[in-house]
Amino acid sequence: MNKAESNRRNFLKFSTLALGGLSLSPLNGSASETSNLTTSAPEEKKLNILCIGAHPGDPEFGCGGTMARYSDEGHQVSFLYLTRGEAWAGDPTLSFDQAAKIRTKEAEASCKILNAKALFASQIDDHTELNKKRVEEMTNLILSVNPDLVFTQWPLDSHMDHQVTACLTYTAWIKSEQKFDLYYYEVDTGSETVGFTPTDYVDITDVRDRKKAAMFAHQSQGPEKIYDTDFKAMEDFRGLEAGVKAAEAFVHFKTKTKRATIQGLK
């Protein structure tokens, strides 16, 4: 290995470890290069990762590929659903209780595919609340998981429940004195998420089929009607930006101690 190559490998190793072993910047080279370095780093800490979404399906649609990669590499992954999707399970005659049962089962099946643990908060679909009591509830739930990284929905979104999820998580992050790194994910950009400019990308090419299976576990949401036009299109688009076949994109809010740093400077 020549010096330039050695420096490049060190740079990639630093960048992957700093982001939990899975981040792929558009300028950081190929995904396979990144993956090899990650698996061969013996000092890598196993991370506790919490992914929060308003409804069953949101974490899977937004970052199911990234979560599959994390769990494959031995990190602990939990999904926290704010609601059980009570407002819609594909049939308008269903009660909230009936719909919640269907969607809870779908969420659990989906989590099994991604090797994630399913957790549920106590809010109600289409009626989520952002207030002091709910912030305390969210803060306590997050702290009970003791995560290293938290992924949540982006606040600028056409769905009110997604806005509430983003704001609850952000306030919990502030209240917990930024104990964890915070990442925002996008869902159905252009239709739901808007104004999202990614800071980080993850190559999901190798886990794309598993992510699709996790999304299709949510059968009551008719994923086959929007997969090609919405979800696959987004993975392709983010993949083009990142220089890989398929990618997911994130906005990373670093903790205060990591903000004034840049790679290569001590």
DSSP assignment letter at 157:
B
In whole angstroms, the minimum distance from the beta carbon of 195 to Zn ion comes to 17
Distance separating alpha carbons of residues 202 and 182, to the nearest angstrom: 15
Nearer to Zn ion by Cβ, of 181 and 186: the residue is: 186
Closest residue to Zn ion, based on beta-carbon distance: 55
Distance separating alpha carbons of residues 166 and 171, to the nearest angstrom: 9
Strand partners, 117: 78
In whole angstroms, the minimum distance from the beta carbon of 159 to Zn ion comes to 6
In whole angstroms, the minimum distance from the beta carbon of 54 to Zn ion comes to 5
Q: Is the C-alpha dihedral spanning 159, 79, 208, 224 positive or negative? A: negative
Distance separating alpha carbons of residues 1 and 22, to the nearest angstrom: 24
Residue 1, Cβ neighbours under 10 Å: how many? 8
Nearer to Zn ion by Cβ, of 203 and 235: the residue is: 235
Nearer to Zn ion by Cβ, of 54 and 246: the residue is: 54
In whole angstroms, the minimum distance from the beta carbon of 61 to Zn ion comes to 8
Q: Which residues bind Zn ion (CB under 5 A)?
A: 54-55, 58
Nearer to Zn ion by Cβ, of 35 and 78: the residue is: 78
